Amino acid sequence: MARFSKMEVLAAMKATGMVPVFYNKDIEVCKNVLKACYEGGVRAFEFTNRGDFAHEIFCELNKWAAKECPEMVMGVGSIVDAGTASLYIQLGANFVVGPLFNAEVAKTCNRRLIPYTPGCGSVNEIGNAQEAGCDLCKIFPAGNVGGPSFVKNVLAPMPWTMIMATGAVEPSEENLSAWFKNGVTVVGMGSKLFPKEAMAAGNWGEITKICKDALDIIARYRK
């Protein structure tokens, strides 16, 4: 399993500008999706803890990725408690993402110098997460907490803030330009990167193209 330093993880997420968010119970589907994203230029990937035995799938996928996608930084999402965070860190997760902020998860990740990106819905929550050592905060659900304008308004008094927007993010120029013009560091994107038709047909090349096009847009609009 590839283990990256905290600085390397944050640098990869910032440089790429987009983190695919994905879960599937079929390990072969996961491998194909991961490889498609990698070939599209993605270098940070969030596997979500959303199904039975998800940690076993992640373990196998992470070992496979170390050989087939050596520059890919593998992380885990949907983490709400310290025990689950510890489990995934032991299995090689390089970063931990959650839908909410949990102080015990922050302690667990800080102890191992693993970046923890918690979900925050207000300026106060972002501030509390930063005090707990969270370098990158996720606004979630991004479309419901205020969208791109929320990012701009947070950065005005807190310009040091690094924000990941997840929820209501789409791989279109109109959508991505709005997020990056307003100052997000990175976006997290799920189903919009993986059209049902392409997944059903095993058309992994389409996923690669969607990722590549999205990253090209991000490169044009990032501040």
Would you list the domain boundaries of the chain? 6-216
In 3D, which of 125, 126, 108, 124 has the Cα closest to residue 116?
108
The residue whose two tokens read 């992470």 is 62
Which residues lie below 8 Å from residue 174, measured CB to CB, with a gap of 6+?
A: none
Identify the CATH assignment for 6-216 out of 3.20.20.70, 3.40.50.620, 3.40.50.720, 1.20.1740.10: 3.20.20.70
* Residue pair 183/152 in contact by the 8 Å Cβ criterion: yes
The per-residue DSSP string of 94-139 comes to: S-EE-SS--HHHHHHHHHTT--EE-EE-SHHHHHHHHHTT-SEEEE
* Number of other CB atoms surrounding residue 124 within 10 Å: 9
Which residues lie below 8 Å from residue 42, measured CB to CB, with a gap of 6+?
A: 16, 18, 19, 20, 72, 211, 215
* pTM for the whole structure: 0.97
pLDDT digits (tens, 9 = 90+) for 47-86: 999 999 999 999 999 999 999 999 999 999 999 999 999 9
pLDDT digits (tens, 9 = 90+) for 157-207: 999 999 999 999 999 999 999 999 999 999 999 999 999 999 999 999 999
